[in-house]
Amino acid sequence: MTLDLTGRTALVTGSTQGIGAAIARRLADAGARVGINGRRAETVGDAVAALAADAGAGRFFAAPGDLATEDGAAAVTGVVPSADILVNNLGVFGATPALEITDAEWRRYWEVNVLAGVRLIRHYLPGMVERGWGRVLNIASDSAIVIPEEMIHYGASKTALLAVSRGFAKHAAGSGVTVNAVIAGPTRTGGVEEFVYQLVDRSLPWEEAQRAFMREHRPLSLLQRLIEPEEIANVVAYLASPLASATTGAAVRVDGGYVDSIIP
């Protein structure tokens, strides 16, 4: 299959590293011009330079701003007033005992993991509908369905993101715009490596720590390893392409078989 996104503008939030950077690179490989987002202009600039060194100059541009705030979202949409593809990848996670999650943490997870994406959908979706083409992709998690005891607030926020995706897909019905969620399973990123070491012995070498984490905390995984960011990016690029025109309102699993269900 040829994924041709030539002439399309994409914005990938939280894309200075990890899954977001992999998605940005894959969209650029397919021909899109991709906005790179993070909270700090310096970090975003470094990421744009690094991505351009790998994929070629001119394919990436900086779109810094803290999307957990209205002012930050306005800064981003000021740089990217219109987009054909929106990938809401920004998210925070971390392990906290269930009864120790404070109101402030609940609010932070809601602002970052849910409202940041909603703000951007409200901005970009009308233009997509008017033009008769667009793709909105919300990066969710297996934790949206299999709520982890050690991070209930994260799981609940990702469950909300599934609802957000389905609801906005209904709003865009018949317009040529698709809205989908991608259920990403445990994926190897810098943040996840730190998370793994929150839960297993820090003295273990990484390969042993990874196996211990999957065995003790994600035993339902059929893949039995962490997913690579590029494996998530490949599915996102397909869903962002014209080839996925009949997939909308869906929760597409890239979870390594972790969710024990034959449907999402």
Catalytic positions: 154
What is d(CA 142, CA 148) in angstroms, rounded to the nearest whole number? Answer: 9
In this structure, the chain runs to a length of 264
Q: Which residues pair with 85 in a beta bridge?
A: 10, 135
260 Rama class: left (phi>0) / alpha (psi -120 to 50) / beta? beta
- Mapping DSSP to helix (H, G, I), strand (E, B) and coil, where does residue 105 land? helix
Other CB atoms within 10 Å distance of the CB of residue 244: 19
Q: Which two tokens stand for residue 72?
A: 């930050």
All residues at 6 or more sequence positions from 247 whose CB lies less than 8 Å from its CB, including other chains: 178, 180, 239
**Residue appearing with tokens 């002012």:** 71
Number of Cβ within a 10 Å radius of residue 2: 8
